[in-house]
Structures are given as C-alpha cells and as structure tokens.
Amino acid sequence: MSDHELRVSKIRDGTVLDHLPGGSSLHVLALLGIDGSEGTGVSVAMNVPSDRMGAKDVVKVEERELSQAEVDVLSLIAPRATVNIVEEYEVREKKRVERPESVTGVLACPNSNCITNDEEPVETRFDVLDDGVRCDYCETIIREGIADHLDVS
Amino acid sequence: MRQDHLVAAGQLSRADVERVLDRAAEFDAALDGGGPLPARYPETVLALCFYEPSTRTKMSFETAMKRLGGDVVDMGGVDASSVKKGESLADTVRVVEGYADGLVLRHPREGAARMASEFVDVPVVNAGDGAGQHPSQTLLDLYSIREAAGLDDLTIGIIGDLKYGRTVHSLATALTEFDAHMHFVSPESLRLPRSVRFDLHEAGAQVREHTELDEVLPELDVLYVTRIQRERFPDEDEYRKVAGEFQIDAETLEAARDDLTVMHPLPRVDEIDPEIDGTDHANYFEQAHNGVPVRMALLDLLLSNDE
C-alpha cells in the first residue's frame, strides 16, 4: 500500500502488526493486553484489501515494542502476521511470528471439567501442535476457533 | 524407570512398563509363598486422597503399601475433610505432603493429578482424574494381559464407554508401545476422545473403530469391557440412550475364539453376564487381584531412588 493510500498515519515509535487475518485485530489487541488504557495511541484498520490475504487487519501500537515472546503468542490466531518495530518513522526491525512450544495463561480450557477451570491457583498451559493446541492438564485439543478461547483481560 | 510421578500412561515407555511388570511378577511370586519380598519399605507412609468413591484402587494401594511393610494415611471421604470447607486441591496436597512419602490421588476433574504433581515433591500417582487417565490400572491391565494372552502380536477389542472411560484412555495409549492391533467398539456418541485418537495416530497405532462387536469378535485375543460411566454424563437422558447397549453373555461369546480372554476393570453393572464368570474366558477377578503386586511394584519403583 503506497503512502497516499494509508488509512492511518505513520507512527513515530512503536509496533506495526500487519497481515493479521481480516477481523482478528480486536482479538489480537486482547491477546496482547492492549485496551487503550495506557493512554498511548492505538490505530486499528480492519478488513483492508490485501493481494495475499484477500482482507487483512493492521494494528499500530505507539510507544510500545513487542517482545518476541509476545509476537509468538500471536501465531495462535495470526500465523502469517508480520511485525515491524518502528523508530523515528522508520522500520528498525522486522519480526516473523514463530509458533512457541507452549503458551501459558493465554487461553481458557474449553473442557469445563478441567482442573484449570476449578478454583485452583494454576494458570492454563497449552502445548502448541502443528494445527492446534492441547491443554497440558486435561489434554483437550482445540483446533478450530482458538481465538474464542482467549482468556486475557 | 526414573519417574517422579505417574500421572498419565503416555509417560511410560515399553521398557518402563516391562520393568514394572517384571517387578510385579517377583512380588506376585513372593506373595504366593515363593520367598521373601524383593523389597520392603518399613516406616514409609503413603497418603490416600480419594475425592471420588473407590473400592479396588484404594484398597489395593493400601494393601500394597502395608505388604511392603509401610503404612497409609487416608484423607477419608470429601465430606469428612477440609475439602468440605472449600480448601483447594493445591493446598490439600501441600499439607498432605508433610505427612507422607507418596500420594495417591483420585479426583473428579481431569488434570488434577498433573496439577497436584506440580505442587509437591513426593511422588504422586494418578488413581483416576475425572474422565482423563488411570495409569496404575493400565499397569495391572497390562500385567493381566501378559499373563493371560501375552503382549506380543496382541489383537484387543475395547468396548463400552470409550469417551468417559479413563482406564480405556490410559490402556490405549500404553498399548501403542506394544504395537497392538486395537479395535474400539462403542456407540458413535461414546467413541474415543479426540486427544486419545490424536495420540494413537501420532504413535502410528493400528486402530479401527466399530459400532458392532460382531464385526471383530472372532479376531480377538482379548476383549476389554468397560462400564458406561453414568456419573460423567451431563444429563441422565444421554445416559439412558446408551445404557445397556453392549451386554456380553454366553451367546455373544459363541462367535469368539475359545482362548479369548475377557477383562473388565470393574465395577460392572450389566455389561458382562455373571454366567461368563465361571468360564475360561473370564479374567476380571484375576485382573483385580493383580492390583496388589502391580501396585507394590509401582510403589517400589517410585519410592526407591533407583536411577
């Protein structure tokens, strides 16, 4: 997309998340714990036309540099995401999401009888499979709709 | 075996299983009057924390520990313990850890034993976690299969409640280590859960699923029958739809091989007609008796600091 087509302006410092699946950006923000309460700028463009993806979402988060671990968690719902770290309006670093071996405290187990859904002092932990995730406690596998199980505030 | 805990059958390699079974055979022989026990654990205390009813598992662990020269402390029923006051499992096991050298846990929620094992340093044995796993039952099942039919080139049929039956989940996982041919027979609504099918597929297991027993019965070396787990159904109507779906009686077994071994983790309701009990097919009471030597062997390997 050329500059004159930009739907939201360039950011000076922060992180640009591109190639998010169309309509996923609110889940992405929830996953990253970004709700605007910090007072820094957050721009969201949803269902932007994309040659590669048909429609994509783009999120620009000002004054925040995402870590590789945060980026990797994104792989659960946005496996083709690209992450640009911006400094002084220039892309300083490009990151690709990589699937982590496991994710902790990010997803709620859909099995209501899982011990993680009881009143116990334990965080959920899921092993990441090629095509889904698996609860480390009750072994329930989630393949479809992983974003529906996000448990982040 | 160098395991700190036994929470799921998937932890066990073939070598681990064979080591437990070989050791169990030594204890079995000793208990039958064949000489002194190969190991003893005087002054060792095993804690029994059973949040769900149990007869065989609890009593056989208690017997096993006492036969080894040790003792047990029993949390008692949930109603008689601080669980009634709202104490978390994590707190309970951390307290009990201070009283005992090992902990046997049965709990209605899946994943309870794994979580408990993360809060304590003493060995934790999963004696059943909801509809999850029951790996010590699997060890005695494998011991019984080895005694009755052998574990090599085994063709086994597993019938009944494959969805909620935790003994099935653990047994199926463990049998992948022995390249068994596995036939699963159940109503569509009670087929194996996705996670177990995933593990079997990943292990390259030889698996077929059926809705009728007669499709496969003549091929079987072992028929492992399970109870429909009424207590795990979300509602009674769903249970009624499948209750009594499979009943094994003498007429059923006319199509079976003469040397078919019929097993059941017990308790049974009406899955196996008592007329089978006196036949050469019936192995389930022997299977239950094997709980003591096998659990002695398991405790021996968990409590010894053997590398």
pLDDT band at B210 (very low <50, low <70, confident <90, very high): very high
Q: Is B114 a catalytic residue?
A: no
Q: What is the pLDDT of residue A7?
A: 64
Q: Determine the Cα–Cα distance for residues A146 and A68; give it in Å rounded to an integer.
A: 20
Helices (H), chain B: 14-31, 56-67, 89-97, 112-117, 135-148, 166-175, 194-202, 236-242, 284-289, 291-303
Q: Who has greater pLDDT, B57 or A2? A: B57
Q: What is the pLDDT of residue B234?
A: 84
Q: Give the tens place of pLDDT for each residue, B134-156.
A: 999 999 999 999 999 999 999 99
| Three-state DSSP state, A148 | helix
Subunit contact B111:A119, Cβ cutoff 8 A: no
Q: Please state, for a pLDDT cut of 90, what percent of chain A lies above it.
A: 61
Q: Determine the Cα–Cα distance for residues B28 and B296; give it in Å rounded to an integer.
A: 9
- Spell out the residues 6+ positions from residue A121 whose beta carbon is closer than 8 angstroms to its own: B88, B90
Q: How many CB pairs under 8 A join A and B?
A: 61
Give the residue-averaged pLDDT of A102-114. 94
Q: Please state, for a pLDDT cut of 70, what percent of chain B lies above it.
A: 98
Phi and psi of A112, rounded to 5°? -65, -20
Amino acid at B146: R
Q: Is the pLDDT of residue A150 over 90?
A: no
Q: Could you tell me the CA-to-CA distances from B17 to A12, B12, B259 in Å, in that order?
A: 61, 6, 25
Q: Tell me which of B83, B91, B106, B110 to substitute to probe the interface with A (most A C-beta atoms closer than 10 Å).
A: B110
Other residues' Cβ atoms within 10 Å of the Cβ of residue B90: 20
- Tell me the nearest-neighbour CA distance from A143 into chain B, angstroms: 10
Q: Determine the Cα–Cα distance for residues B197 and B207; give it in Å rounded to an integer.
A: 9
Please name the residue of chain A whose CA is at the shortest distance from the CA of residue B115.
A137
Q: Give the tens place of pLDDT for each residue, B28-82.
A: 999 998 789 999 999 999 999 999 999 999 999 999 999 999 999 999 888 777 7
Enumerate the residues of chain B whose CB falls inside 8 A of the CB of residue A127: none
Angle between helices B135-148 and B166-175 (to 10 degrees): 60
Please name the residues between 107 and 146 in chain A that touch chain B, using a CB distance below 8 Å.
Answer: 111, 113-122, 134-141
ipTM: 0.93
A144 burial type by CB count under 10 A (0-12 exposed, 13-18 middle, 19+ buried): exposed
Q: Is B55 a catalytic residue?
A: no
Q: Give the tens place of pLDDT for each residue, B90-137.
A: 999 999 999 999 999 999 999 999 999 999 999 999 999 999 999 999
Q: Give the tens place of pLDDT for each residue, A38-59.
A: 899 999 999 999 988 899 999 9
Q: Determine the Cα–Cα distance for residues B74 and B57; give it in Å rounded to an integer.
A: 13
Amino acid at B242: V
Q: What is the pLDDT of residue B2?
A: 47
Q: Is B134 a catalytic residue?
A: yes
Other residues' Cβ atoms within 10 Å of the Cβ of residue B177: 20
Enumerate the residues of chain A whose CB falls inside 8 A of the CB of residue B114: 115, 136-137
Q: Who has greater pLDDT, B33 or B162? A: B162
Q: Is the pLDDT of residue B1 over 90?
A: no
Q: Give the tens place of pLDDT for each residue, B246-263.
A: 899 999 999 999 999 999
Q: What is the pLDDT of residue B130?
A: 96
Give the residue-averaged pLDDT of B286-307. 91
Q: Is B58 a catalytic residue?
A: no
Q: What is the pLDDT of residue B225?
A: 97
Per-chain mean pLDDT for chain B: 94
Subunit contact B195:A134, Cβ cutoff 8 A: yes
pLDDT band at B3 (very low <50, low <70, confident <90, very high): low
Q: What is the pLDDT of residue B305?
A: 64
Greatest mean pLDDT among A128-132, B169-173, B234-238? B169-173
Partnered with residue B110 across adjacent β-strands are A114
Q: Determine the Cα–Cα distance for residues B173 and A74; give it in Å rounded to an integer.
A: 32
Please name the residue of chain B whose CA is at the shortest distance from the CA of residue A141.
B195
In order of start, what are the domains of chain A with their CATH numbers? Answer: 14-96 (3.30.70.140), 102-149 (2.30.30.20)
Q: Who has greater pLDDT, B306 or B31? A: B31
Q: Which residue has the tokens 């011991």?
A: B143
Q: Could you tell me the CA-to-CA distances from B301 to A97, B18, B42, B137, B234 in Å, in that order?
A: 43, 12, 15, 16, 38
Give the residue-averaged pLDDT of B9-32. 97
Q: Is the pLDDT of residue A153 over 90?
A: no
Q: Determine the Cα–Cα distance for residues B196 and B214; give it in Å rounded to an integer.
A: 24
Enumerate the residues of chain A whose CB falls inside 8 A of the CB of residue B108: 113
Q: Is the pLDDT of residue A115 over 80?
A: yes
